[in-house]
Amino acid sequence: MAYLKSIAKPGCNSCGGQSAKELFNLRNVSLGFYCLRHAERALRTQREHEQEDYTREGVV
């Protein structure tokens, strides 16, 4: 039986370091795994892109 510590987590999409969590956008599509340092920046960038998409489509 494998222990959870022995299972390697995927690396961060930005720096390749140990990832902390998987991020998802509003449509529940995976953005990938990120470390804590890069997760905040990736979420901010994703929110900006989604806001641009909504304004371009005339939703907002």
Cα dihedral value 4, 5, 6, 10, nearest 10: 90
Residue pair 23/31 in contact (Cβ under 8 Å)? The answer is yes
pLDDT band at 58 (very low <50, low <70, confident <90, very high): low
pLDDT band at 6 (very low <50, low <70, confident <90, very high): low
What's the whole-number mean pLDDT along residues 39-53?
A: 86
What confidence tens digit (pLDDT) does each residue in 7-24 have? 666 788 888 888 777 888
pTM of the entire predicted model: 0.58
Buried-state track 26-48, b at ≥16 Cβ within 10 A, e below 16: eeeeeeebbbeebbeebeeeeee
Q: For position 1, what pLDDT does the model report?
A: 47
